[in-house]
């Protein structure tokens, strides 16, 4: 995703509602910027991966 205006992710889940583990990373220099870029990594266990598609929802805090 690009250009997401949010304070940060607060949750990740698959379509069934099962929560997923996630982590974020922002570089030191980027973290000093008012709207830093970063990376969101979501762990998706094999037992929730669908044959044709896997739907993942990311919940964000609204941007201030």
pLDDT at 39: 82
pLDDT value at residue 3: 62
Phi, psi of 8 (to 5 degrees): 160, 160
Mean pLDDT along residues 6-11 = 68
pLDDT digits (tens, 9 = 90+) for 19-38: 888 888 888 887 787 777 78
């Amino acid at each position: 995703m690009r250009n997401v205006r949010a304070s940060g992710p607060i949750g990740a889940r698959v379509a069934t509602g099962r929560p997923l583990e996630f982590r974020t990373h922002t570089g030191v220099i980027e973290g000093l910027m008012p709207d830093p870029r970063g990376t969101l990594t979501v762990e998706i266990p094999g037992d929730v991966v669908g044959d044709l598609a896997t739907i993942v929802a990311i919940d964000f805090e609204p941007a201030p």
